[in-house]
Structure 1
Amino acid sequence: MNNFKKIVFIIIAGVFVFAFGGSYIINTIKKSNPRVLNSAESITLSSGTYTVGKDVKPGFYDIESLNGKIHFSAYVLNKGDKVLNNELYDQSKINVEGKGKVKLSPSKVNAIHLNKGKYAIIHSGYYIVGKQIPKGSYTLSYSTKDKDNIDEKIFVQKLKELRGNPLNVYLFKHKNRYKINLENGNVIQVIKTLKDDQMDIIINLTPDKS
């Protein structure tokens, strides 16, 4: 094999390794940390049915109702309601019903700051322990102006990780407060918008005193 053929062979081999090895590396990284290389893009939707991957890029989104009353898949959102860090999967369907509009933007995953001795979660969504909330032992509770507003559709789940199975489910219809231990990488899923406007309900995580 002369030098020219060797160079051509090396180039072809390098392209092959980059194309297939690079794809394998990226998929491995995304499996261990699904938020890496988030492909979400900002878009505003009105009433209709949309296909992820065709009409909307797959990825992690912050979803916000801009006006009116919107049914976004399983969620009921009034103006200002949000669902944070919600993943939209490729080829899945999004159903939007109502006269208003809903804005989808790449999720920010902002940290929640300790305020008056507790971490207050205002919106439904997924919250990452170690990134948004410190790991530790907490008392999980809620506060609201209307205590009769709580029903079985208001609850919190602890997931092992993003895309992980639920480890625990906390139903406020049955109990006002729970003890909860959080480790780095765990995810807290807050669901309070499956029925109607629940914006006044705040989920509280109060660090236990050591």
Structure 2
Amino acid sequence: MNRIKTIVFILIVVIFLSVIGYPYLNNFISKDSNMAKKINVTKGEYVVGKDINQGLYDIEVIGEEVRFMQRQLSDRSKILGIKLNTGEKVMIVGEGKVNMSPASFNKINLKSDKYEINHSGFYNVGLQIPAGNFILSYSGNVEKEKPFVQVLSSKRNIIKTYDFTNKKAYEITLKENEILEVNKFLFYESESLIITLETK
């Protein structure tokens, strides 16, 4: 009888640790298993899995403007946490150089009750920004189009979209392991625009 109780107790502990520890383990595995490798590329067409390793990348433009996967980027523009899958084609047009490095997943620091996102990209909730309730807004010059933000599942399925067409701010809830996709603009990057998450 005691042996059965011990087995049941161990099973309960394992299940409890699995449920509680999953978000942290998942973030660790996602970060640690990234197969991206640092590479510098210039204009041309590249095939992921052949010319570029698949994985999660931070990209930065150096020098002249380029169009990277249909987005116009200028010198020092960055897009963070881009996922490239095997077989996908990456097209680069322009005279600049693109530095591609494994995604760093840098934490965004809280400043005066706000998290300021300065670059378009994909941000992991629980790793880079905390879970919680926020006011999502933007500041800066909006010329041709409005920012576009989405909340994604850990598998990058769309949960909610915020396009700022009719509103300048939204109340949002971010949960552990979700991904916040930030597009300052869909077809070009603006250094003057900042996306803000204000704590509630």
TM range (shorter): 0.7 to 0.9
Q: Hey, what's the Cα distance between the residues in 2 that align with 1:52 and 1:35?
A: 19
Paired residue for 1:107, among 96, 103, 108? 103
Q: Hey, what's the Cα distance between the residues in 1 that align with 2:88 and 2:131?
A: 33
Distance 1:62 1:44, change over 3 A: same
TM-score, normalised by the number of residues in structure 2: 0.82
For residue 110 of structure 2, give the secondary structure of its aligned residue in structure 1: coil
Is 1:82 the counterpart of 2:75? The answer is no
Is 1:207 the counterpart of 2:187? The answer is no
Paired residue for 1:185, among 164, 177, 187? 177
**Contact kept in structure 2, 1:63 and 1:102, CA below 8 Å:** yes
**Contact kept in structure 2, 1:150 and 1:173, CA below 8 Å:** no
Report deviation, 1:134: 0.8
Report deviation, 1:150: 5.8
Is 1:160 the counterpart of 2:153? The answer is yes
Report deviation, 1:34: 4.4
Aligned counterpart, 2:117? 121
Report deviation, 1:74: 2.5
Structure 2: where are the runs of 5+ without partners?
A: 1-24
What is the correspondence of 1:36-51 to structure 2 with a 5 Å cutoff?
36-51=32-47
**Contact kept in structure 1, 2:57 and 2:81, CA below 8 Å:** yes
What is the correspondence of 1:4-43 to structure 2 with a 5 Å cutoff?
34-43=30-39
Report deviation, 1:61: 0.5
Distance 1:99 1:193, change over 3 A: farther
Report deviation, 1:194: 2.8
* CA RMSD in angstroms, aligned pairs only: 1.8
Q: Deviations over 1:81-118 (max 9, x none)?
A: 11101111011100000011110001100100001220
Aligned counterpart, 2:132? 136
**Contact kept in structure 2, 1:156 and 1:170, CA below 8 Å:** yes
Report deviation, 1:65: 0.6
Number of residue pairs matched by the alignment: 175
Q: Hey, what's the Cα distance between the residues in 2 that align with 1:53 and 1:119?
A: 35
Give 2:44's aligned amino acid: G
Is 1:175 the counterpart of 2:167? The answer is yes
Q: Hey, what's the Cα distance between the residues in 2 that align with 1:189 and 1:150?
A: 20
